[in-house]
């Protein structure tokens, strides 16, 4: 999961991870609503329903919440802990 661990939080802190939910509004809510509870099979072969959406505040790519904050959204596999980004999930699931 270290592709995100660059330590460049907006406020300078190294940890800017947050649990996301539809209350964040904006595109964050849209993504969560379209992905949650969908069955997903990880590259480790573990199948699980998507939940526990997390996000990193990040400048480069991501989705905006209703406050205009940008989040890189991901869900971690409960088995192998691989972090799947929203982009990867969207491309692998037929919605
Ligand atoms: Zn896995």
Please report which confidence band the pLDDT of residue 95 belongs to, taking 50, 70 and 90 as the band edges: low
Q: Look at residue 59 in the predicted model and tell me its pLDDT.
A: 62
Please report which confidence band the pLDDT of residue 1 belongs to, taking 50, 70 and 90 as the band edges: very low
CA 41 to ligand 1 centroid distance, Å: 8
CA 74 to ligand 1 centroid distance, Å: 13
Q: Which residues of 18-45 are buried (b: 16+ CB within 10 A; e: fewer)?
A: eebeeebebbbbebbeebeebebebeee
Asked, for residue 2, whether it belongs to a domain, the answer is no
Tally of structural domains, the chain? 1
How far apart are the C-alpha atoms of 83 and 74, rounded to whole Å? 6
CA 94 to ligand 1 centroid distance, Å: 19
For 20-77, the pLDDT digits (tens) are 999 999 999 999 999 999 999 999 999 999 999 999 987 667 999 999 999 999 999 9
Domain limits for position 44? 17-92
Asked, for residue 6, whether it belongs to a domain, the answer is no
Asked, for residue 1, whether it belongs to a domain, the answer is no
The tokens describing 63, both together, are 């989705």
Asked, for residue 38, whether it belongs to a domain, the answer is yes
Contact between 32 and 44 (Cβ < 8 Å): no
Kindly report whether the global pTM for this prediction surpasses the value 0.85. Answer: no
């Amino acid at each position: 999961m270290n592709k995100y661990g660059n330590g460049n939080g907006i406020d300078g802190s190294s940890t800017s991870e947050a649990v996301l939910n539809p209350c964040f509004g904006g595109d964050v809510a849209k993504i969560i609503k379209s992905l949650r509870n969908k069955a997903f099979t990880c590259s480790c072969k573990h199948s699980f329903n998507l939940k526990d959406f997390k996000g990193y505040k990040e400048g480069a790519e991501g989705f905006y919440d209703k406050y205009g904050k940008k989040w890189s959204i991901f869900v971690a596999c409960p088995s192998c802990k691989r972090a799947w980004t929203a982009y990867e999930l969207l491309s692998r699931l037929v919605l």
